[in-house]
A and B are shown apart, each in its own frame.
Chain A
Amino acid sequence: GAGVSQSPSNKVTEKGKDVELRCDPISGHTALYWYRQSLGQGLEFLIYFQGNSAPDKSGLPSDRFSAERTGGSVSTLTIQRTQQEDSAVYLCASSKTSGRRGEQFFGPGTRLTVL
């Protein structure tokens, strides 16, 4: 079946502009996660949606970052007034609520470059 998809695959923007990144999780997966990977770093947790519960936003680095998940499916990560330090690969993942192994399935990522 279809995996997690993300769009765009690459985004180049100018400092100060807003960007929106999209994630389509695997159908039927109730949990959705956003992570980012800066150059030479591991993956850093940003935000987590689980069903209809309030999202865990504890990983968002600043109030310029926000995310929403509409209809329990598609999610959009918005970065306002982008800064050069926002340049990274943004990865989305989804998982079943009661996955036997608990693994998260990742999309290919969106590479964001802020000039």
Chain B
Amino acid sequence: DQQVKQNSPSLSVQEGRISILNCDYTNSMFDYFLWYKKYPAEGPTFLISISSIKDKNEDGRFTVFLNKSAKHLSLHIVPSQPGDSAVYFCAASRTSGSRLTFGEGTQLTVNP
């Protein structure tokens, strides 16, 4: 039972353009959502999060949008940079600080 799904295993964009990574979830009890970035041979690093009481959160070039009725969230990166090339994981939890349920990840490649 995959409760968090990232349907695109890979995404390729040009430097300077927008990257949009998508994530869907099925468990309506999830109320906290996070995005992590992972480089090879390293642990995931936290990027940005959003609580279910909000529909948007921004941090610099990164914006997360949450559509609760559709059980969908997305991460926008503007402008994309080659250093953003990594695997991006969407994660969800029932309360802040509890166990995370992860999606399968999306490999983002930003071409110079």
Binding site for B on A (CB under 8 A): 4, 31, 33, 35, 41-45, 48, 50, 56, 59, 91, 93, 95-99, 101-109
Contact mask B19-59 → A, CB, 8 Å, 1/0?
00000000000001010100001111110010000000000
Docked-complex contact B99 and A48, CB < 8 angstroms? yes
Number of interface residues of B (CB under 8 A): 25
Chain A: minimal CB distance from B20 (Å)? 19
Q: Which A-chain residue is minimally distant from B48 (CB atoms)?
A: A101
Docked-complex contact B100 and A43, CB < 8 angstroms? yes
Docked-complex contact B46 and A101, CB < 8 angstroms? yes
Docked-complex contact A42 and B103, CB < 8 angstroms? yes
Docked-complex contact B96 and A102, CB < 8 angstroms? yes
Docked-complex contact A101 and B49, CB < 8 angstroms? yes
Interface assignment of B69: CB less than 8 Å from any CB of chain A: no
Q: Which A-chain residue is minimally distant from B59 (CB atoms)?
A: A101
Complex interface: chain A residues within 8 A of B111 (CB): none
Chain B: minimal CB distance from A110 (Å)? 10
Docked-complex contact A97 and B41, CB < 8 angstroms? no
Q: Which A-chain residue is minimally distant from B93 (CB atoms)?
A: A102
Complex interface: chain A residues within 8 A of B91 (CB): 43
Q: Which A-chain residue is minimally distant from B42 (CB atoms)?
A: A108
